[in-house]
Chain A
Amino acid sequence: MLLIPCPWCGLRDEVEFKYGGEAHNNRPLVPDVHDDTAWAAYLFMKKNPKGLHLERWVHAAGCRRWFNVARDTVSNRIDGSYKIGEKPPAIAAETEESA
């Protein structure tokens, strides 16, 4: 059972949180310029990586803040969390590409 670092409340138990899926899959600012394939990519396509995953969580039963977590999907090890709008320090390059 995960122990998730809320950037505000610190380490809290998994049951206080809700998972929000892959992070940095932002909604296109002007949806109409995207064709159906690109739109489908935004709506549905996932990296679903084996290994490092940047993902959104919300501290639902706590401070209600959304934030990002860097977690390994194989070991479930959490490398850290960061606020929305921030970049994951060590892996900034990778995020840039996906943003």
Chain B
Amino acid sequence: MPDRYRRQSPLAHLGLVARASEDQSAEAGVVMAECPFCAQTGLRGDGSLARFGNAVKTVLGIAPPTEPNTVTGPEDFADGARILWLGPDEWLIVGGDVDAEPSGALRLALSDRHAAVVDVSDGRAVIALSGPNARDVLAKGCPLDLHPRAFGPGRCAQTVLAKAHVILHQIDASPSYEIYVHRSFADYLWSWLEDAAGEFGVRISNSRSDRNGLLGGRVTP
């Protein structure tokens, strides 16, 4: 068993845990958090085949969505896996702690057909964005229509945010979102979001990270 205390989330260097515990204005229009160490599995396969969906469902309890840009599964990381539609033959399975090696069973279940299961947990950082002005912040850098009439809980989309490619998943109508971004862009995107959210007041939270395990940051070079 690898030493969980030595792992680092993509934004570990920002000391977000410490910042979250500092006294912060309660009136913040935007709340930001990193959701670290959440298992992410890339799934490829022929979604038009029922056998494929069933195989996935047998393992995960949910089938991959066939409706573009939607998500199946529970809202919360803590309540098990969910599956985000990324393409007609591509999904992202999210949930569970990363060190629990969640993709093994699925790989086995699909081993007899043309499919690919790839652990990409570390490939993306996940940033949670919520608060009354969350949508305004996104609108500053994202060309999607995020108005409730066009986008809402249970929807996901791959798009552009500032100068990064992201997966955007709306969690609830408050509104709160989860933003998946390639790990090497995480520092950039976080800075950009904090900058963009400045006018509304920002509060750093670690509620998501609390729920999903331990934060890194113990390593000193």
Chain A positions near chain B (C-beta within 8 angstroms) = 8-10, 12-13, 15-16, 60-65
For chain A, what secondary structure do more than half of its interface residues adopt (helix, strand, loop), or is it mixed? loop
With both chains docked as a complex, state the minimum distance between the C-beta of B66 and any C-beta of chain A, in angstroms.
11
Q: Give the secondary structure class of B's interface.
A: strand
- Find out whether the CB atom of B87 lies under 8 angstroms from the CB atom of A16: no
The contact of A63 among B87, B144, B160, by CB within 8 Å, is B87
Whether a CB of chain A sits under 8 angstroms from the CB of B90 is: yes
Q: Nearest residue in B to A60 (C-beta to C-beta)?
A: B165
Interface size for chain B: under 10, 10 to 19, 20 to 34, or 35 or more residues? Answer: 10 to 19
Residues of chain B touching chain A, judged by Cβ–Cβ distance below 8 Å, are 68-69, 86-88, 90, 143-144, 157-160, 165
Given A61-B160, A62-B158 in contact, is the A16-B68 Cβ separation under 8 Å? no
The reply to whether B87 and A65 form a contact with Cβ atoms under 8 Å apart is: yes
Docked complex Cα distance between A64 and B86 (Å): 8
Q: Are A16 and B159 in contact (CB under 8 A)?
A: yes
CA distance A64 to B160 in the complex (A): 13
Q: Contacts A16-B143, A61-B165, A63-B68 known; A9 to B90 CB distance under 8 Å?
A: no
Closest 6 pairs between A and B when the two form their complex, measured CB to CB: A13-B143, A63-B87, A61-B165, A8-B68, A62-B158, A61-B160
Cα A61 to Cα B69 in complex, Å, equals 13
